[in-house]
Amino acid sequence: MKKIILMTLLAPIFSYAYYAEVRPLGKTSGAILYRLDASELKKGDITEVTAQFKSGDKVEMEEKATVNETTAEFSKYEITQNQTKEKGLIEIVGDVVKMKYDIEGKPSQSKEIKKPKDLVAPANFDRWLKKNFAELKKEKSLTIDFLVWDRLDTYKFKVTYLGEEKKNGSTIQKFKMNINNFMLAAFITPIEIDMNEDLSQLVSFRGRVAVKIKKDDKFENLDADVKYFYK
């Protein structure tokens, strides 16, 4: 027991920060809609991830997650959507996914489901890609259960490996995500993800993002071009 405690106390702690620029889909330059500031605090196999979508100094949305680097799974995921006054909390307890959803002015909602084999959320998606990359290269595509926190549900998506591309002297690994639902596919643009050669960093993301955009006094879903920068 003493050895276990000592190993825990001596586990190295690493911090890591990066940011991204969020523009309308198809726009890789010009006006920035939002800035995404993200940080990761690693202690042993566990990483605490925090991501904030900002408009100026105003935090429009914040996501926090606890991720296991060995399994590429998250154990806790918290969402605060300030634009729409929504909050979500997802916790994994054993093989059960416990979900809670709140919106200002309405009763709290909750739901429990059996944990799918490949449960993926924004916070652990890049880890899942890295862990399953060899199989993706072999099979070309795999199916995941993607968490949709504000629906208290998961939707099946197909993740496809598109291959490598040389860009500005660097090797880019390219992926695509499509929802596995014929009816919903008409409303959800396929998501394109570019990562660096060893899958340690996101390079760009094109598709539906978590933050929303205001049109005619209403917040609507946003499809965006997102470019990442590392400090």
pLDDT range class, residue 136, cuts 50, 70, 90 = very high
pLDDT range class, residue 8, cuts 50, 70, 90 = very low
Q: What is the pLDDT of residues 99-113, one digit of tens each?
A: 999 999 999 999 999
Q: What range does the domain containing 73 cover?
A: 12-230
- Percent pLDDT > 90 in the chain is 83
Phi then psi dihedrals of residue 24, to 5 deg: -60, 145
Query: What 3-state DSSP class applies to 217?
Result: coil
**Domain assignment present for 110:** yes
Q: Is the pLDDT of residue 187 over 50?
A: yes
Name residue 117's beta-bridge partners: none
**Domain assignment present for 1:** no
Q: Considering its fold, how many domains does the chain have in total?
A: 1
Question: Going by C-beta distance under 8 Å and a sequence separation of 6 or more, which residues neighbour residue 1?
Answer: none
**Domain assignment present for 3:** no
Q: Is the pLDDT of residue 30 over 90?
A: no
Question: Strand locations in 56-169, DSSP E?
Answer: 58-68, 73-81, 86-93, 96-103, 109-114, 119-120, 141-148, 153-167
pLDDT at 15: 82
**Domain assignment present for 2:** no
**Domain assignment present for 4:** no
Q: Is the pLDDT of residue 224 over 90?
A: yes
Supply angle C-alpha 80, 24, 222, rounded to 5: 40
Query: What 3-state DSSP class applies to 84?
Result: coil
Distance CA 9, CA 97 (A): 30
